Amino acid sequence: MTTPSRAAARQILETADDSLLDLVDNLLNRGVVISGEVLLGLAGVDLVYLRLTALLCAADRVRPRGEP
């Protein structure tokens, strides 16, 4: 799985007129993000897919206070 390249985004921004800027902002910075993940790699090769949504949650919602 790949993600939109930052180089492409910057390229648009360089030539964007004002009507395009808000479109860029809405589509690339907002909207539902249904995965929070990081791709780790070496030498340009993606090797590891780290899905953080599964790892992190508020502790007091997982275990009531006072339990070990």
Partner 1 sequence: MSRPRRPLIEVREIESLRAELERQADTLAPRWNADPEDVQKSVARLVLTLVEFIRQLLERQAIRRMEGGTLTTEETENIGVALMRLEQTVRDMAARFGLAPDELNLDLGPLGRLL
Partner 2 sequence: MSVYLYALLSGHPASACGQGICAEPLRLVASGGLVALVGDVSAMPEVTALTLRAQDAVLRRLAAEVDAVLPARFGTLLADDAALADALVQRRVQLVQALGRVAGCEQMTVRVWGDGPIPSPPRDAEPAAGPGPGTRYLTDRRRAHEAAHRVPELEPLRQRLGDLVRAERVERHDRPPLLATVQHLVARGTGAHYLDVVDACRTGLRPCRVSVTGPWLPYAFSEDAA
Binding site for partner 1 (CB under 8 A): 3-6, 9-10, 13-14, 16-19, 21-25, 28-29, 33, 35-46, 52-53, 56-60, 65
Q: Are the C-beta atoms of 16 and 24 separated by less than 8 Å?
A: yes
Smallest separation (angstroms) from partner 1 to the CB of 20: 10
Sign of CA dihedral 16, 19, 23, 28: positive
Is residue 24 near partner 2 by the rule CB under 8 A?
A: yes
43 makes contact, choosing from partner 1, partner 2, none, with CB < 5 to 8 Å by partner type, with partner 1
